[in-house]
Structure 1
Amino acid sequence: MALFDRIIVDPEVVHGRPVVRGTRVRVTDVLSLLAEGASEAEILEDYPYLTAEDIRACLAYAAAQTDHAIVLAS
């Protein structure tokens, strides 16, 4: 499964926020845990239904969301 296939946006799940497929775990929740210093192992222990690939998918999704065109003033 490709990384981005692990992230879904469905208006019926958590009000359309990006989540890990098959869960109600929001991408932002995983990112917040990582930002607070939680290790991958700690996250997987607390959320045993997630995988290491799910965590990487959250990071890849966030990275893709921040990649935008640079607009130069002329």
Structure 2
Amino acid sequence: MELSERITIEPGKCGGRPFIRGRGVPVSEILEFIDSGASNLEILEEFPDLEAEDIMAAMAYVPPGPEPKVE
């Protein structure tokens, strides 16, 4: 499974925010754990349904939208 396939956006789930494979774990929550200094192991212990690849997908996620302007 490609990393990008691990991220899902569905209206009515997780407030329309991107989350991991229908598991209900928002990408933003994983990124907050990373920003706070949590290791991958700590994140996997907190969310036992996740896989290491899910964390990598969250870190690589770029939301859909227009390209940023370069000035």
Distance 1:69 1:26 in 2: 23
Cα deviation per residue 1:25-48 (whole Å; 9 max; x = unaligned)? Answer: 100000000000000000001111
How many aligned residue pairs are there? 68
TM-score by length of 1: 0.84
TM-score by length of 2: 0.87
Q: Given the alignment of the two structures, is residue 28 of structure 1 paired with residue 25 of structure 2, yes or no?
A: no
Q: Classify the secondary structure of the residue corresponding to 1:58.
A: helix
Q: Classify the secondary structure of the residue corresponding to 1:55.
A: helix
Please report how far the alpha carbon of residue 70 of structure 1 lies from its aligned counterpart in structure 2 after TM superposition.
4.0
1:43 maps to 43
Q: How does 1:1-74 map to 2 (within 5 A)?
A: 1-61=1-61, 64-65=62-63, 68-72=67-71
**What's the % identity of the aligned pairs?**
44
| Bigger CA radius of gyration | 1
RMSD of aligned Cα (Å)? 1.2
Unpaired runs of 5+ in structure 2?
none
